[in-house]
């Protein structure tokens, strides 16, 4: 669809780069752009004269949509639409983002989250659309259909139903996380803005294609983590085994942040962010090739989102260093030292310094416990030894006569289970 992008700012110059990327991500062809610097107009957002200029531009460029990089109220949307040629759609920033989410939602969980966000966006507009539709000669509001008095109640009921289903999915995922920890896995989450290179970095760290969930496999566990240069490629979550050395790590890639998201949209995707909030370690990935002010703004937003609920250590990963020369990178690192005091610099694309990131992951993960077990030599004891090898790091395995000594490090949950198994073996031996 051919589209004009437009943006109003109170002061300074309007930046259209991100909205153009978003428009292209949604499948639009950007054929024109328009900006205005002035206070917001209650009726149109823009000044009325600027809206008339926008209408002329849509005719000149044969545009089918106008994408506004601002939050438009229902009356403003209606008024702008009234100035445009018939059939030209008015899309604000958040409607565009929801459209992209809808296109990328491949799993039941992602589809529910998109639907929840759409309903939360629509709810405060339902009453306005009703009144506008009644006074408008055309049916419905901007071609969106009739709204009767029960529409608001229907939306609230739908929101409640979706939240219940998402809560059920969240409960199953919480159980899965605990089962993974009990199996000796550390949980590491990738967070950051969209297009920071999280999926590319994940492919570099991955030890295999995906996590075998057997019959309990959750649909959000994709077999691949896409790494295309487009916004919102990763909408659901992708979990893979990661090769970091001696630790067994599950690495989860999540939906990327995007600037200026309203709280209702963030809340709609809260269950996806649970994989970040409940991780043992968070890797906050930042695109090091961006201007330093943009990097700073994104770091502040990410910190506000993550530190509010996250208890795990957060390591800043400055990615895409292959696109930055040494002097420029040094200046950026110094400028951001207050927000990222000890970052790891890598290139997920080329693999440069990724080994340093693996070492850092090992150091930042929760400490393992040391344990020493003395066991009677038997088939059951050998099964326990094999299990410890799979779930921990064996430092010594010595055999003397009819007993063996096993020294190892492992997560506390694994140590506890190993002790219990060893206790069972000792009880059997004494019978």
Binding site per annotation, positions for Mg(2+):
199, 234
Contact residues for 25 (Cβ-Cβ < 8 A; gap 6+): 100, 230, 231, 232
Task: Please report where in the chains the tokens 């430092």 appear, as a residue.
Answer: 395
Please give the annotated binding residues for GTP, written as ranges. 192-199, 253-256, 319-322, 347-349
Separation between Cα atoms, residue 314 and residue 305, nearest integer Å: 12
Q: Do residues 59 and 66 make contact, with C-beta atoms less than 8 angstroms apart?
A: no
Please give the annotated binding residues, written as ranges. 192-199, 234, 253-256, 319-322, 347-349
Could you tell me the CA-to-CA distances from 209 to 34, 238, 239, 365 in Å, in that order? 45, 10, 9, 23
Q: Is the dihedral of CA 76, 79, 81, 84 positive or negative?
A: negative
Contact residues for 96 (Cβ-Cβ < 8 A; gap 6+): 19, 22, 23, 26, 67
Q: Do residues 23 and 100 make contact, with C-beta atoms less than 8 angstroms apart?
A: no
Q: Do residues 216 and 176 make contact, with C-beta atoms less than 8 angstroms apart?
A: yes
Q: Output the CA torsion 108→210→217→302 (10° steps).
A: -50
H-helix or E-strand containing 427?
Answer: helix 412-430
Tokens describing residue 13: 């110059």
């Amino acid at each position: 669809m051919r589209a004009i992008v437009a943006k109003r700012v109170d002061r300074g110059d309007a930046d259209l780069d991100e909205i153009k990327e978003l428009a292209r991500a949604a499948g639009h062809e950007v054929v024109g752009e328009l900006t205005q610097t002035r206070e917001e107009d209650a009726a149109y957002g823009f000044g009325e004269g600027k809206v008339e200029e926008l209408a002329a531009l849509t005719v000149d460029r044969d545009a089918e949509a106008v994408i506004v990089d601002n939050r438009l109220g229902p009356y403003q949307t209606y008024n702008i639409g009234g100035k445009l040629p018939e059939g030209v759609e008015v899309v604000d920033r958040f409607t565009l983002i929801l459209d992209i989410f809808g296109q990328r939602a491949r799993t039941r969980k992602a589809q529910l989250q998109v639907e929840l966000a759409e309903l939360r966006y629509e709810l405060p507009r339902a009453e306005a659309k009703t009144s506008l539709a009644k006074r408008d000669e055309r049916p419905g509001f901007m071609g969106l259909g009739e709204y009767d008095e029960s529409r608001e109640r229907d939306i609230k009921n739908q929101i409640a139903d979706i939240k219940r289903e998402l809560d059920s999915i969240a409960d199953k995922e919480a159980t899965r996380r605990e089962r993974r920890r009990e199996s000796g896995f550390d949980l590491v989450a990738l967070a950051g803005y969209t297009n920071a290179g999280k999926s590319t970095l994940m492919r570099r760290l991955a030890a295999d294609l995906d996590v075998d969930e057997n019959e309990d496999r959750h649909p959000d566990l994709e077999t691949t983590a896409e790494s295309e240069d487009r916004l919102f490629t990763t909408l659901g979550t992708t979990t893979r085994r990661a090769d970091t050395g001696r630790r067994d790590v599950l690495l989860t890639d999540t939906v990327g942040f995007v600037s200026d998201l309203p709280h209702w949209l963030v809340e709609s995707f809260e269950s996806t962010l649970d994989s970040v909030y409940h991780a043992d370690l968070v890797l906050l990935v930042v695109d090091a090739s961006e201007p330093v002010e943009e990097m700073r703004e994104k770091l502040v937003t990410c910190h506000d989102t993550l530190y509010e609920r996250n208890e795990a250590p957060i390591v800043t990963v400055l990615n895409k260093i292959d696109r930055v020369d040494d002097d420029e990178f040094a200046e950026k690192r110094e400028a951001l030292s207050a927000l990222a005091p000890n970052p790891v610099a890598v290139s997920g694309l080329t693999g440069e310094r990724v080994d340093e990131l693996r070492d850092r992951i090992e150091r930042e993960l929760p400490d393992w416990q040391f344990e020493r077990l003395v066991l009677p030599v038997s088939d059951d004891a050998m099964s326990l030894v094999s299990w410890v090898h799979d779930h921990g790091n064996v430092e010594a395995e010595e055999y003397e006569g009819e007993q063996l000594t096993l020294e190892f490090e492992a997560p506390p949950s694994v140590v506890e289970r190993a002790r219990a198994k060893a206790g069972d073996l000792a009880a059997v031996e004494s019978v």
